[in-house]
Amino acid sequence: WGTSCSVTAASLAPTPCLAHGAQPWAWLQFSQSGQPKDYALPNASWSQGMLNLYNEFVEKSKDGTWKRIPSYRLMLPLLTPEHPCPFTHPDLMKLEGEKMSKDTRLFLRSLDEEGLGFEYVMFLNPSEKRMVTVYQPGPYLEGHPGFAHGGSTAAIIDSTIGGCAIFVAGRVMTANLSIDFKNPIPLGSVVLVDGKVNRMEGRKVFLSCQVWSADGQTLHAEATALFIHKPVG
């Protein structure tokens, strides 16, 4: 899962499901060519602060407590009964790539140039049902001068806890997201988006999330959310 790791079907193999026959690999996304480029690896735009936090979680991942989540331009279509586990197919990357629409991109991976938009890497802690995102908002996410637009903060929160909810429940949609914005996030700074599942009731997954500065001194935002499980088919 480190920086030198090449992405193979084996390295992306799913972790055990937690509930509802969850398919934790369902969030994997593939590039339009079918050859995946993993965007959740360091690039030249990452600040030293971003690299430091990334390395901290890579270190924590060595004993399996945390897992880095690869990130591609597109989200893998949610799995069908015919393809319950795509990792068993040797031509996975190509097949899934060809199934994708050619004209869409995942919102958070919509910009080509490194560093201008959302730079982020997610780490999942399966036993804690917790997802943290190391996040560096770029200059094209501006709201008030010099600060990230609140909508961009909502998007990174939604994706962080969305990933967490997918892990526990499989296919989910955001039904409700409530955010208290506490302190503005400077563009180019590094923050930690820390989300977790609090409880599940039937199809409902309740989560909470906090956005902290990298030094842990500033709470930028906190949120609660409800995701609803939508069974495939």
Ligand X SMILES: CCCCCCCCCC(=O)SCCNC(=O)CCNC(=O)[C@H](O)C(C)(C)COP(=O)(O)OP(=O)(O)OC[C@H]1O[C@@H](n2cnc3c(N)ncnc32)[C@H](O)[C@@H]1OP(=O)(O)O
Binding site for ligand X (CB under 6 A): 27, 69, 122, 158-159, 162-163, 173-176, 203-204, 226, 228, 230
Nearer to ligand X, 9 or 155 (CB): 155
CB of 48 to ligand X, least distance (A): 25
Nearest residue to ligand X, scored by beta-carbon proximity: 162
Residue with tokens 């995701």: 227
Catalytic residue at 158? Answer: yes
Question: What are 229's strand-pairing partners?
Answer: 172
Classify residue 142 by its DSSP letter: B
The total number of residues written for the chain in this structure: 233
**Edge-to-edge strands of the sheet including 130-137?**
67-69, 118-125, 130-137, 191-201, 204-213, 219-229, 172-181
Q: What are phi and psi of 125, to 5 degrees?
A: -110, 95
Q: What are phi and psi of 207, to 5 degrees?
A: -130, 165
CB of 164 to ligand X, least distance (A): 9
Strands 118-125 and 219-229: unpaired
Longest pairwise C-alpha distance within the chain: 50
Nearer to ligand X, 60 or 204 (CB): 204
The span from the CA of 174 to the CA of 169, in Å, is: 12
Break the chain down into helix, strand, coil percent, rounded to 5.
25, 30, 50
Nearer to ligand X, 53 or 225 (CB): 225
Q: Are 66 and 124 in contact (CB under 8 A)?
A: yes
Which residue is catalytic, options 158, 180, 194, 215? Answer: 158
Secondary structure (DSSP) of 158-172: HHHHHHHHHHHHSSE
Active site residues: 158
